[in-house]
């Protein structure tokens, strides 16, 4: 067992609204492990949205922005605070010796994700939509989803993004860590 690895790293199941089991993958388990370290209890409610794999991710971005907007409208209408955490692999084509091979656009794609996180300029997505499928970013749809939620919950305020870890590719796929805050809220 790797040091710091979640003790329940094997995919488990969660119940969805219909009551049918939904398998959780490491994409959901690792962020949840970071929020709820073992030995710490919480009374928080969770909604896990697993993005389905698709070979036409770029074409789905507008729909995911609308889905994020719907979530934002729901959260804005509630009396409780909420945190939205998006786990999204960036380009998965940084290394040549993987199933996908290398793509020269991978680094620029990841850097554009970082620019979006600091500027919240959704025009960046228009450029990315044309290359996202070729650079194999399986989790990128989480960013348009989050953008929709942020835009809907802005009210009269501005959201501000900050990179805690700039886009980088320590393995074959890119990753970054960003936070978004508005006045006294963290999102």
**How high is the pLDDT of residue 165?**
84
77 torsion bin: left (phi>0), alpha (psi -120 to 50), beta (else): alpha
**How high is the pLDDT of residue 51?**
66
**How high is the pLDDT of residue 104?**
94
**How high is the pLDDT of residue 119?**
93
Per-residue pLDDT of the chain (187 residues), as tens digits, is 333 434 444 444 444 444 445 555 555 555 666 666 665 666 666 666 666 666 788 888 999 999 999 998 988 888 777 778 887 788 889 889 888 899 999 999 999 999 999 999 999 999 999 999 999 888 899 999 999 999 888 776 788 899 888 888 777 778 888 888 886 554 4
Q: How far apart are CA 150 and CA 155, in angstroms?
A: 10
Q: Which of 144, 153, 139 is nearest to 120 (CA)?
A: 144
Q: Which residues on adjacent β-strands are paired with residue 112?
A: none
**DSSP state letters, the chain:** --TT--TT-S--EEE-TTS-EEE--HHHHHHHHHHS-TT----------PPPP-S-HHHHHHHHHHHHHHHHHHHHTSSS-----------S-S-TTSSS---TTHHHHHHHHHHHHHH--THHHHHHHTTTTTTT-TTTTHHHHHHHHHHHT-TTS--EEEEEEEEE-SSSS-EEEEEEEETTEE-
**How high is the pLDDT of residue 4?**
42
**How high is the pLDDT of residue 79?**
78
**How high is the pLDDT of residue 108?**
94
């Amino acid at each position: 067992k790797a040091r710091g690895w979640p003790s329940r790293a094997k995919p488990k199941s969660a119940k969805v609204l219909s009551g049918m089991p939904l398998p959780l993958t490491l994409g959901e388990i690792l962020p949840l492990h970071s929020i709820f370290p073992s030995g710490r209890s919480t009374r928080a409610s969770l909604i896990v949205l697993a993005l389905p794999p698709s070979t036409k991710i770029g074409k789905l971005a507008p729909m995911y922005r609308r889905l994020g907007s719907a979530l934002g409208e729901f959260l804005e209408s509630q009396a409780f605070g909420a945190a939205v955490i998006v786990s999204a692999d960036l380009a998965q084509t940084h290394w040549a010796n993987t199933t996908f091979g290398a793509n020269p656009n991978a680094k620029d794609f990841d850097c554009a994700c970082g620019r979006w996180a600091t500027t919240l300029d959704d025009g960046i997505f228009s450029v990315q939509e044309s290359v996202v499928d070729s650079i194999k970013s399986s989790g990128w749809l989480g960013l348009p989803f989050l953008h929709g939620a942020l835009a809907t919950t802005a009210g009269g305020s501005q959201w501000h993004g900050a990179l805690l870890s700039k886009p980088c590719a320590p393995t074959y796929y890119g990753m970054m860590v960003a936070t978004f805050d508005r006045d006294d809220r963290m999102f």
